[in-house]
Amino acid sequence: MKIYHNPRCSKSRQTLSLIQEKGKKIEIIEYLKNPPKFEDLELILVKLSISPIDLVRRKEEIWKENFKGRELKDNEIIQAMVDHPKIIERPIVINGTKARIGRPPENVLEIID
């Protein structure tokens, strides 16, 4: 199991704590320090069963200043997340073939048991 984690984010910290309280081992990936590659994000999106735009934090300044209102193809949105990992919604928990965004943190419970 993996978590794409931002330790400065309260939801991310809450999600990690919830998983650890369940006694689960989890690999912590601080995605701002170690951004996912394009292929990683493609795979994460498949596991989440969502489109790229649904993984974007659209209220982030980077998004609003550079991408908001533009017609972007899925691969361009994924590349934007690779180039600017701060716009990736967080936290993302992956367990095997499934993934969930921990907003709210309890969302991840269905894939960790």
Does 113 have pLDDT greater than 90? no
Does 91 have pLDDT greater than 80? yes
Cα dihedral sign, 14-15-17-18: positive
- Over range 56-85, report the average pLDDT: 97
What's the pLDDT at 99?
A: 98
Candidate list 9, 28, 43, 111, residue with the active-site label = 9
73 is catalytic: no
**Taking each helix axis from N to C terminus, what angle separates 38-48 and 74-83, rounded to the nearest 10 degrees?**
120
What's the pLDDT at 55?
A: 98
CATH classification for the domain delimited by 2-112, as one of 2.40.128.110, 3.90.550.10, 3.10.450.100, 3.40.30.10: 3.40.30.10
- Over range 71-98, report the average pLDDT: 98
pTM over 0.85: yes
- Which of 22, 28, 35 minimizes the C-alpha distance to 7? 28
- Which of 94, 71, 1, 85 minimizes the C-alpha distance to 37? 85
What's the pLDDT at 71?
A: 96
Count CB-CB contacts under 10 A for residue 26. 19
* 70 burial level (CB within 10 Å; 0-12, 13-18, 19+): exposed
